[in-house]
């Protein structure tokens, strides 16, 4: 439908500016921000030589563009639109032959977009075109996915810390529209929402309604909202119409990386079974310029090869969002020879109504080489807590304690810590 007319506008004498519909006429490449299901487009058009314009004729615009989102920009200022109308192709359609078969399609199919000669845009006031202008709009039927090919060299049964890594990142962008965008500046936007495991269901509990702990169990805290991240491509991209483009956005060749063994309390219960539970081996790649990276890395599927990229991959997993600066982390699976035992020791009441709780983590390294261990400890309590003391230096956050240490070969180390649990439940 046409945009509403401005009731108080006074049009100057019309000066028409015709814009070609190809995406190559702009003084700058088009800019696209691609999400799941849509893309926001900004196209730039050079000055026409006219001093002021009141009317724009855009020839061959994308048929699928969302006109409710169309904006005209003069430099950095949006310019109000009085009305717009399609310039339809009035050429008669060819008639069907008398003997043409009747085709029945029981499923519903979207109707093809009508043929358009162009789009006429009238502005509420003259627009200076000395510096050109731009159009922004939304297009449906776009989506993207990322994938990684990772080769880890120098890793073996001894699980040494230092390795070399090759890392190639690929971005696949699907354009389901009839508009092509050569030499486009592209950013993709998304989050880890689809990569997170579903929340574990609560078990059956016999709760005492008079107990202060009842509310946190019956009404668990709402999860934090996932904020999408923006991943700008470092090079221009050619996006064909009704097609898919695959662009390599990361290329790391034989750069040093680290191997860490992660003890995450979300995966290791307390108390732990006798003998301990294997820790997960994680590849750590610094996201810095020295690694030929230095920009945010999107989440996506990862294929891991050990030694060389020949044959089938060692495993396939998921890489989550990696900020810049940050660390690209990739799970390489559990290691039976590096284990952890978590225990809840003693809990005693304090005179002020609070409680004091002691915990221990026993780390075991049966390898013939030292290993780097990261411990992420999330106290299993709905009460507010604070760290009283710890046998090992750690980093304290609002939700966890984090320890980092190197465990010598054929050795065992015990970490103990004490928490103060508040007298009132966490709000």
| pLDDT tens track, the chain, 427 positions | 444 333 323 333 344 455 544 454 445 889 999 999 999 999 988 776 667 888 888 888 888 889 999 999 887 788 889 998 888 755 444 444 555 555 565 555 555 556 567 889 998 888 877 777 889 999 999 999 999 999 998 876 555 567 899 999 999 999 999 999 999 999 999 877 544 444 444 444 444 555 555 455 445 555 555 567 999 999 999 999 999 999 999 999 999 999 999 999 989 988 888 889 999 989 999 999 999 999 999 999 999 988 776 666 788 888 989 999 999 999 888 889 999 999 999 889 988 888 899 999 999 999 888 899 999 999 877 778 999 999 999 999 888 999 999 999 999 999 999 999 987 654 4
Q: Give the pLDDT of residue 91.
A: 45
Its pTM stands at: 0.75
Q: Give the pLDDT of residue 55.
A: 85
d(CA 55, CA 12): 10
d(CA 186, CA 146): 14
Q: Give the pLDDT of residue 57.
A: 86
- The answer to whether the CB of 178 falls within 8 A of the CB of 62 is yes
Preceding peptide of 325 cis, ω within 30°:
yes
- Strands (E) across 141-223 are located at 142-153, 162-175, 181-190
CB atoms within 10 A of CB 101: 7
Per-residue DSSP letters for 95-154? PPPTTPPP----S--PPPPPPEEEEEEEEEEEEE-TT-EEEEEEEESEEEEEEEEEEEES
Preceding peptide of 400 cis, ω within 30°:
no
């Amino acid at each position: 439908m046409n945009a509403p007319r401005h009731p108080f506008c006074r049009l100057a004498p019309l000066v028409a500016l015709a814009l070609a519909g190809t995406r190559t006429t702009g003084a700058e490449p088009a800019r696209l921000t691609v999400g799941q299901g849509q893309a926001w487009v900004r196209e730039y058009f050079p000055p026409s030589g006219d001093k002021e314009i009141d009317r724009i004729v855009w020839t061959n615009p994308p048929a699928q563009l969302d006109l409710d989102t169309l904006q005209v920009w003069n430099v950095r200022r949006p310019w109000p639109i009085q009305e717009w109308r399609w310039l339809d192709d009035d050429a008669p359609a060819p008639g069907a032959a008398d003997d043409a078969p009747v085709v029945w399609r029981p499923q519903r199919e979207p109707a093809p977009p009508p043929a358009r000669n162009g789009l006429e845009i009238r502005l509420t006031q003259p627009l200076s075109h000395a510096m050109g202008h731009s159009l922004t709009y939304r297009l449906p039927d776009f989506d993207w996915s990322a994938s990684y090919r990772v080769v880890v060299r120098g890793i073996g049964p001894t699980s040494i810390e230092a390795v070399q890594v090759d890392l190639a990142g690929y971005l696949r962008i699907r354009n389901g529209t009839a508009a092509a965008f050569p030499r486009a500046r592209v950013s993709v936007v998304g989050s880890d929402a689809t990569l997170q495991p579903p929340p574990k269901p609560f078990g059956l509990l016999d709760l005492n309604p008079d107990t202060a702990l009842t509310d946190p169990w019956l009404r668990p805290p709402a999860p934090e909202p996932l904020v999408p991240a923006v991943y700008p491509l470092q090079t221009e991209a050619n996006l064909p119409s009704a097609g898919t483009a695959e662009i390599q956005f990361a290329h790391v060749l034989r750069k040093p990386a680290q191997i860490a063994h992660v003890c995450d309390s979300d995966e290791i219960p307390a108390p732990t079974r006798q003998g301990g539970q294997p820790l997960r081996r994680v590849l750590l790649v610094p996201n810095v310029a020295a690694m030929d990276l230095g920009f945010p890395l999107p989440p996506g599927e990862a294929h891991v090869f050990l030694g060389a990229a020949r044959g089938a991959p060692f495993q396939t997993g998921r890489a989550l969002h990696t900020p810049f600066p940050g660390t690209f982390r990739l799970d390489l699976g559990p290691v039976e020879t590096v284990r952890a035992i978590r225990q809840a020791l003693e809990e005693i009441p304090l005179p002020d109504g609070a409680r004091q709780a002691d915990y221990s983590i026993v780390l075991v390294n049966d390898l013939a080489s030292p290993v780097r261990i990261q411990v992420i400890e999330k106290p299993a309590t709905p009460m507010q807590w604070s760290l009283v003391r710890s046998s090992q230096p750690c980093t304290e956050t609002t939700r966890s304690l984090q320890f980092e240490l190197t465990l010598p070969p054929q050795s065992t180390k015990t970490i103990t810590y004490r928490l103060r649990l508040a007298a009132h439940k966490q709000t």
